[in-house]
Amino acid sequence: MAEAATDLKEAPARPSAAEAPQAAPPPAAPPPPATAPPRMAGQAAPGSFIIVRDRYTLYCDKPIPSLDMPNAQAFEVTDRKQEGRPLYALICKPEMLPRVSVMRALKGHEMAHMLPMVDWGIAEWPPIDRKCAIVIYHRPLGGRLMESMAGGGKRIPDHLFPKTIIKPLADALIELGLKGITHRAIRPDNLYYMDEARTNIVLGDCVTCVPANDQPVVLEPIESGMCVPSARGSGTFADDMYALGATLLILAIGRNALQNVPDAEIIRRKIKDGSYGTLVSDERVPVSLIECFRGLLTDDMEQRWKPENIELWLAGKRLTPVQARAEPQSQRAFKFADMEFHSIRPLSYAMYLNWDKAIGVITDGSLEIWIRRGLELGDLADAIASSIKNSRAFGGQQKDQDDITLSRVLMILDPRAPVRMRDFRVALEGFGGSLAVATLAKQQLQPYTDFINRELWRHWITAQTKYHADNAQWETVFKDLRNYLKDTNSGAGIERCVYELTEWMPCLSPLIVDQYVMEVKGVLPALEVASKTVNTKLWPVDRHVAAFMRARYAKGVSTQIYAMNDPRPERATIVMLSVLAIVQWRLGPETLFGLASWVGGLMGTVINAYQSRPKRKEIEREMPKLIRKGNLAEIYNFLDNPEERQRDAEGFAWAKAEYAAAEKQAFDLEHGQIDRQESAIKSGQKSGAIAAVVIMLLTYTGFLVSNLF
C-alpha cells in the first residue's frame, strides 16, 4: 500500500458559513466517559495539521475525547474535496496492532448500520514524531448510545427496543458476515447515532486494535473471556452474537450489573450459573425480550442464536427454548481450596485460579481417583494419568515440570478453554495477535517461546473432543515456528515468528520502526530516511529487517539472507549489500543516495579482501562516484565482479610463488647450499648472453636503416 502523503504547516483557514455547503452543525460534544482512556504522549503545536491521502486535513491540536477508543484517539478532520462533510479520524496507538485486513475490506463501503469508514492510511503524527495508522470515519452526529460501561444510559421503551435496537444491529452483523468479517468490538459504548435526531443506530469502530482486545470480560463468551485480551483472536460469528446479546441486555437494563465485579469472578459465575443468569443478576428484564436474550447468551456455541433466529423472533415466531446441557455431577464432592465441587468445569477454573495449590491434587492422585470413581469417567482419568507421566518425561526443573503437567491436565478437564500456563492464557488463533502486541509493547516474550517449544499447542489440539478442520493447519504453522526458533541465524528466531503469524505487522527494526513499514517495498525508502540520523556503523539489514524480508519476500531474498550468516566478514557484508541491491532492483526506488552512502561506508572489509594494493586504491577512487549515483546494484556489481576477483586471486597466487622462490634462494645462499662463485659465474653468463643478443639486434637494425637510406 502506498503510504499517505503528509505535510505539517500552519492550519488553513476554515471555510466561512457562506462558502461552505449548508449542513447541520454537530451537536455539543457529550461529556467524556467516567474513565477516559489514557491519551498518547506528546502535544501538537497550535494550528498544526497533516494531510492524509492528499485529501484529508487532520487537525493535530483539535482532539475529540468523546469519540476516543481505548487504543485510538479522535481528532477533527475536513475533506478538501467535500467541504462541510462531517468526519473524524482515529489515530491508532503505536503499541497496538490494528486490523489492517479489515480496514482494506471496509474502506469506502456503505454497510447497513455500520459506522462508515471513509479511508485509512499511514501518516506522520507530529505529537509523537512517528508514523501511525489513521482511520477516517463519518462523524456520528448523535453521539454514543451509552457514554461508558461504567455509567448508565437512558432506557429505551420495551416496545421500541426490538425495532430500534435489535433489528439494526442484527442487520449490521449480517452485512459483516457476508464479507466474512467478525466485528469483535460490540459493546454499549461502541454504538452510535449517526443523526442528531438519534434514530439511526450503528456499530462503531472495530479496526483500531487486535480482535476483542478492548472488550470487557462481561461481553465475551466464557472461553474468550479466559484469554488475555490480546489473545482472543478473530473468533467466530457466534462470538459476535454473544457480544450482541450481552450488549442488548445491558441496554435493556440500563446499566452493567457486573460493573464492579472482578473478571475472574464474572467467569466463575458464568461457569456456575450460566451467562444469562450471571448477566441478569437481580435486575428486572423485560419479559418480551427474555427469549431473545437467552438465545443469544447460551454458552453452547452450537445452540446460540444466529441472525435468522432473530429475524424469526422479530416476526413473532416462537422458537424452541434453548436447553443448557448439564455436565456430569458427582454425588461425592471434591474438596479443593476450601471449596466443594461436584462437576469438572468449575473445578478446572478453580485449579487455574489456585495454580500453586492445584499441582498437589494432581500428583497425589486424588483428582484422578475422584474422576474415575465419583464421575465414572474412566477415559478421562486415563488421559490425565497419561499426561502426568508424559509431562514428567519432559525433564528440566521441577517447577517447569509441574507447570506443564498442570497446563495439560487443565486442557483435558476443559478442552474448550484456552491454553493456560500461569498468567499466560491464549487461544490458538489469537496467538499471533498476542505475540505481535507483546512485541510492540516490548513485553517479555519467554511465555510465547515456551508455548511453541514445549508444544502446548499440540497438547491443546490433542485434548479436543471434536474434530476441527483448522487444527491440521495449526500443526503445520507451529511446527514451522518451532523450526524458526531453533535457528539462531539472522532472518529466523522469534522475529521471524512475529512476521509469519501477522500479515500486516510493521517492521520493528529500531532503525525504521518509526516509519511504520508494512510492505517490503517500503523498507528501502525507510532506511533512506533513517540514514540521515542513524549510527552508520550499524548494518541496515538487522535481525528484524532480515526476518521481515524473509517472511514477506521469501522468493526474492531468502537465499541471500541465509548467506548473510557466513562467518567470513567480507562475504557476509557483500551478501548484505546484495539483499538491498535485489530489493532496489525489483521494487525500487531508482536512487537511494543516503542508503548508498551508508552501505558504502560499511564496505571496508570487502575492499580489503582484494590482495592487490593498486586494485584497492582503484576501488576507493571509484566508490564515491558510484555512491553518488544511488544505485546499490551498481555498487554490488563493482565490488563483487567475478572476473576481477579471479584476476586478483591468480595474481596473488603468482606473487606468493615468486616470493616463496626468492625466499628459498636467499635461504640457500645464506646457508651455503649454493656455491657463491658458481652462482656468480652463472649469473654473469646469463647477463652476457642477454647483452650479446641486444647488441646483435641493434647492429642488425642499424644495417637495415643504412641500406634503406
Chain Cα centroid distance, residue 691: 81
What pLDDT, on the 0 to 100 scale, is given for residue 694? 64
Local confidence band at 388 (pLDDT 50, 70, 90 cut-offs): confident
Residue 325 clears pLDDT 90, i.e. is over it: no
- Residue 192 pairs with which residues in a beta bridge? 144, 202
490 and 502 together in one domain: no
47 and 75 together in one domain: yes
503 and 554 together in one domain: yes
Q: Where is 201: in which H helix or E strand? A: strand 201-203
pLDDT tens digits, 287-301: 999 999 999 999 999
d(CA 387, CA 407): 10
CATH assignment at residue 171 = 1.10.510.10
396 and 275 together in one domain: no
What pLDDT, on the 0 to 100 scale, is given for residue 674? 55
Q: What is the mean pLDDT of residues 2-13?
A: 37
Out of 611, 640, 669, a domain closes at 640
For the chain, the average pLDDT equals: 87
367 and 227 together in one domain: no
d(CA 681, CA 678): 5
| Percent of the chain predicted with pLDDT > 90 | 70
506 and 399 together in one domain: no
d(CA 331, CA 342): 7
Local confidence band at 649 (pLDDT 50, 70, 90 cut-offs): low
Q: How many domains, in total, are found in the chain? A: 4
388 contacts 360 by C-beta, under 8 angstroms: no
pLDDT tens digits, 389-418: 887 666 668 888 899 999 999 999 999 999
Out of 477, 495, 513, a domain closes at 495
Q: What is the DSSP string of 30-52?
A: PPPPSSPPPPPS--PPTTEEEEE
d(CA 537, CA 558): 24
Decide if 652 is inside a domain: no
Of 17-31, 254-268, 333-347, 426-440, the least confident: 17-31
d(CA 348, CA 456): 17
pLDDT tens digits, 589-621: 999 999 999 999 999 999 988 888 888 899 999
170 contacts 296 by C-beta, under 8 angstroms: no
Chain Cα centroid distance, residue 130: 18
Local confidence band at 24 (pLDDT 50, 70, 90 cut-offs): very low
Q: What is the mean pLDDT of residues 504-526?
A: 96
Q: String of b and e for 567-600 (b: at least 16 CB within 10 Å)?
A: eeebbbbbbbbbbbbbbbeebeeeebebbbebbb
Strands 87-92 vs 56-63: parallel, antiparallel or unpaired: unpaired
Q: What is the residue type of 358? A: A
What pLDDT, on the 0 to 100 scale, is given for residue 556? 81
Decide if 249 is inside a domain: yes
The region that residue 219 occupies, defined by phi over 0 for left and psi between -120 and 50 for alpha, beta otherwise, is: alpha
347 and 482 together in one domain: yes
In eight-state DSSP terms, residue 71 is T
Burial, 639: exposed, middle or buried (Cβ in 10 Å; 0-12, 13-18, 19+)? buried
Residue 680 clears pLDDT 90, i.e. is over it: no
What pLDDT, on the 0 to 100 scale, is given for residue 99? 97
d(CA 344, CA 348): 6
299 and 415 together in one domain: no
Contacts of 94 (CB under 8 A, 6+ apart): 128, 130, 132, 440, 516
d(CA 250, CA 227): 22
d(CA 517, CA 507): 6
347 contacts 413 by C-beta, under 8 angstroms: yes
374 contacts 328 by C-beta, under 8 angstroms: no
pLDDT tens digits, 255-265: 999 999 999 99
The region that residue 58 occupies, defined by phi over 0 for left and psi between -120 and 50 for alpha, beta otherwise, is: beta
Cis peptide before 221 (omega within 30 of 0): no
Q: Give me 420's grid cell.
A: 493456560
75 contacts 88 by C-beta, under 8 angstroms: yes
What pLDDT, on the 0 to 100 scale, is given for residue 458? 93
What pLDDT, on the 0 to 100 scale, is given for residue 339? 93
Residue 20 clears pLDDT 50, i.e. is over it: no
Burial, 8: exposed, middle or buried (Cβ in 10 Å; 0-12, 13-18, 19+)? middle
Local confidence band at 275 (pLDDT 50, 70, 90 cut-offs): very high
Q: What is the mean pLDDT of residues 562-578?
A: 94
Out of 640, 668, 689, a domain closes at 640
What pLDDT, on the 0 to 100 scale, is given for residue 314? 92
Decide if 647 is inside a domain: no
60 contacts 49 by C-beta, under 8 angstroms: yes
Decide if 704 is inside a domain: no
pLDDT tens digits, 110-130: 898 999 999 999 999 999 999
CB atoms within 10 A of CB 271: 23
d(CA 415, CA 428): 12
What pLDDT, on the 0 to 100 scale, is given for residue 174? 93
Residue 305 clears pLDDT 90, i.e. is over it: yes
Q: What is the mean pLDDT of residues 92-108?
A: 95
Q: Give me 80's grid cell.
A: 478538501
What pLDDT, on the 0 to 100 scale, is given for residue 577? 96
What pLDDT, on the 0 to 100 scale, is given for residue 245? 97
Decide if 656 is inside a domain: no
In eight-state DSSP terms, residue 208 is S
CATH assignment at residue 30 = 3.30.200.20
What pLDDT, on the 0 to 100 scale, is given for residue 110? 86
CA angle 609, 610, 611 (to 5 degrees): 110
481 and 551 together in one domain: no
Range of the domain at 245: 161-314
Higher pLDDT, 535 or 676: 535
Q: What is the mean pLDDT of residues 379-389?
A: 91
3 state DSSP class of 472:
helix
304 and 206 together in one domain: yes
Contacts of 194 (CB under 8 A, 6+ apart): 115, 138, 140, 141, 142, 200, 201, 202
Strands 130-138 vs 191-193: parallel, antiparallel or unpaired: unpaired
Decide if 243 is inside a domain: yes
279 and 380 together in one domain: no
Ranges of H-type helices in 145-236: 161, 167-178, 222-226
Residue 270: C-alpha distances to residues 265, 420, 423, 650 (Å): 9, 18, 20, 80
Of 134-143, 470-479, 648-657, the least confident: 648-657
Nearest to 241 by CA among 292, 200, 204, 180: 292
What pLDDT, on the 0 to 100 scale, is given for residue 660? 66
pLDDT tens digits, 157-206: 888 999 999 999 999 999 999 999 999 999 999 999 999 999 999 999 99
479 and 509 together in one domain: no
Decide if 144 is inside a domain: no
Decide if 695 is inside a domain: no
CA-atom Rg of the chain in angstroms: 36
